Amino acid sequence: MTSMSFDELLPLIFIGLMGVSLLVYVVSDGYDLGVGMLMHRATPEERDTMVASIGPFWDANETWLVLGVGLLLVAFPKAHGLVLSELYLPTALMLVGLILRGAAFDFRVKAKADRKAMWDRLFIAGSMLASVCQGWMLGRYISGFGEGWNYPIFAGAIAVALPMAYALLGATWLVMKTDGALQHKAVEWSKIAWPPMVLGLILISMATPWISETVRERWFTLPAMIAVASIPVTAGIALVTVRVLLGSPTVRGGLCWLPFALLVLVFFLSFLGLSYSIYPFVVIDRLTVWEAASSPDSLKVILIGVCVTLPVIVAYTAFSYRVFRGKTIELDYA
Amino acid sequence: MDAVFLARMQFAANITFHILFPSISIALGWVLLFFRLKHLRATDPQQKLDWLRAYRLWTKVFALTFALGVVSGVTMSFQFGTNWPGYMERVGNIAGPLLSYEVLTAFFLEAGFLGVMLFGHRRVGEMVHLGATFLVAFGTLMSAFWILALNSWMQTPAGYEIVNGQFHARSWLEIIFNPSFPYRLLHMVLASALTCAFLLIGISAWQLLKGVATDSASRVLRTGLVFAALAAPAQMMAGDLHGLNTLQYQPQKIAAMEGIWETTRGASLLLFAIPDDAARTNHFEVAVPKLASLILRHDADGELKGLNEFPSAHPPVFAVFWCFRIMVGMGILMLLVSWVGLWRHWRDGREFARMPRPMLWLFAGMTFAGWVATIAGWYVTEIGRQPFIVAGLIRTSDVASRVPSSSIAVTFAIYVAVYLALLVAYVGVLKYMAETADKKSYANVSVSPAGEPQQYQRRGEFA
Using a pLDDT cut of 70, give the percent of chain B over it: 92
Out of A165-179, A271-285, B32-46, B199-213, which region has the weakest mean confidence (pLDDT)?
A271-285
The verdict on A201 touching B (C-beta cutoff 8 Å) is no
Task: Note whether B191 and B23 are within 8 A (CB).
Answer: yes
pLDDT tens-digit profile of B278-299?
888 888 888 888 888 888 888 8
- CA distance to partner chain B, nearest, from residue A265 (Å): 23
Please answer yes or no on whether B461 and A109 come within 8 Å at the CB atom.
yes
The verdict on A313 touching B (C-beta cutoff 8 Å) is yes
> What is the interface size between A and B, counted as CB pairs within 8 Å?
205
What local confidence, expressed as pLDDT, does residue B222 receive? 92
What local confidence, expressed as pLDDT, does residue B233 receive? 94
- With respect to residue B360, please indicate whether it lies within any of the assigned structural domains: yes
Out of B284-288, B355-359, B450-454, which region has the weakest mean confidence (pLDDT)?
B450-454
The verdict on A106 touching B (C-beta cutoff 8 Å) is yes
Q: Give the end-to-end CA distance of chain A in Å, rounded to a whole number.
A: 68
The verdict on B47 touching A (C-beta cutoff 8 Å) is no
| DSSP, res A334 | -
Give B274's strand partners. Answer: B283
The verdict on A303 touching B (C-beta cutoff 8 Å) is no
Name the more confident of B116 and B216: B216
pLDDT over threshold 80, residue B173: yes
Please answer yes or no on whether B82 and A92 come within 8 Å at the CB atom.
yes
What local confidence, expressed as pLDDT, does residue A305 receive? 79
- With respect to residue B292, please indicate whether it lies within any of the assigned structural domains: no
Cβ contacts (< 8 Å) between B99 and chain A: which residues?
Answer: 70, 73-74
- In this prediction, residue B447 has a pLDDT band, given cuts at 50, 70 and 90, of very low
- CA distance to partner chain B, nearest, from residue A162 (Å): 21
Instruction: Give the residue on A whose Cα is nearest the Cα of B107.
Output: A63
- With respect to residue B173, please indicate whether it lies within any of the assigned structural domains: yes
Q: Are strands A281-283 and B160-163 parallel, antiparallel or unpaired?
A: unpaired
What local confidence, expressed as pLDDT, does residue B369 receive? 93
What local confidence, expressed as pLDDT, does residue B232 receive? 94
Burial code of A52-68, b = ≥16 C-beta within 10 A, e = fewer?
bbbbbbbbbbbbbbbbb
Among A25, A66, A322, the residue to mutate for chain B (most B Cβ within 10 A)? A66
Query: ipTM value of the model?
Result: 0.78
Cβ contacts (< 8 Å) between B119 and chain A: which residues?
Answer: 56
Yes or no: domain A20-323 corresponds to CATH 1.20.1630: yes
- Whether residue A280 is preceded by a cis peptide bond, meaning omega within 30 degrees of 0, is yes
Please answer yes or no on whether A301 and B172 come within 8 Å at the CB atom.
yes
**Closest residue to B458, CB basis, from A80, A99, A332:** A332
- Among A37-51, A73-87, B356-370, B395-409, the range with the most confident prediction by mean pLDDT is B356-370
Q: How many domains does chain B have?
A: 1
- In this prediction, residue B444 has a pLDDT band, given cuts at 50, 70 and 90, of very low
Please answer yes or no on whether A67 and B88 come within 8 Å at the CB atom.
no
- With respect to residue B294, please indicate whether it lies within any of the assigned structural domains: no
Alpha carbon A213 to its chain's center: 27
Please answer yes or no on whether B96 and A332 come within 8 Å at the CB atom.
no
CA atoms within 13 A on the CB side of B77: 27
- How many helices (H) and strands (E) would you count in chain A? 14, 2
- In this prediction, residue B271 has a pLDDT band, given cuts at 50, 70 and 90, of confident
- With respect to residue B29, please indicate whether it lies within any of the assigned structural domains: yes
pLDDT over threshold 50, residue B458: no
- In this prediction, residue B149 has a pLDDT band, given cuts at 50, 70 and 90, of very high
Please answer yes or no on whether B108 and A309 come within 8 Å at the CB atom.
yes
pLDDT tens-digit profile of B230-265?
999 999 999 999 998 998 899 889 888 888 888 888
- With respect to residue B123, please indicate whether it lies within any of the assigned structural domains: yes
- In this prediction, residue B430 has a pLDDT band, given cuts at 50, 70 and 90, of very high
- With respect to residue B281, please indicate whether it lies within any of the assigned structural domains: no
pLDDT over threshold 80, residue B443: no
What local confidence, expressed as pLDDT, does residue B440 receive? 52
Among A17, A29, A48, A59, the residue to mutate for chain B (most B Cβ within 10 A)? A59
Instruction: Give the residue on B whose Cα is nearest the Cα of A50.
Output: B460
Give B269's strand partners. Answer: B288
What local confidence, expressed as pLDDT, does residue B95 receive? 86
Q: What is the pLDDT of chain B when averaged over all its residues?
A: 85
Residue ranges of the domains in chain A? 20-323
Please answer yes or no on whether A59 and B96 come within 8 Å at the CB atom.
no
Domain with B244 in it = 3-263+305-459
Alpha carbon B5 to its chain's center: 24
pTM over 0.90: no
pLDDT tens-digit profile of A49-71?
888 777 767 777 777 887 888 78
Using a pLDDT cut of 90, give the percent of chain B over it: 36
Question: Block means of pLDDT (10 residues each) for chain A, length 334 residues?
Answer: 73 86 88 88 81 74 80 81 82 89 83 82 91 89 78 84 89 84 84 87 79 76 77 87 83 80 88 81 78 80 81 76 67 30
What local confidence, expressed as pLDDT, does residue A2 receive? 57
Question: Taking each helix axis from N to C terminus, what angle separates B369-383 and B3-20, rounded to the nearest 10 degrees?
Answer: 150
What local confidence, expressed as pLDDT, does residue A78 receive? 79
Please answer yes or no on whether B88 and A112 come within 8 Å at the CB atom.
no
B134-142, Cβ contacts within 8 angstroms, sequence gap of 24 or more: B134/B33, B135/B109, B136/B29, B136/B109, B137/B29, B137/B30, B137/B32, B137/B33, B138/B29, B139/B105, B139/B106, B139/B108, B139/B109, B139/B113, B140/B22, B140/B25, B140/B26, B140/B29, B140/B109, B141/B26, B141/B29, B141/B189, B142/B105, B142/B109
**How many angstroms separate the CA atoms of A227 and A219, rounded?**
10
Question: Taking each helix axis from N to C terminus, what angle separates A88-110 and A77-86, rounded to the nearest 10 degrees?
Answer: 80
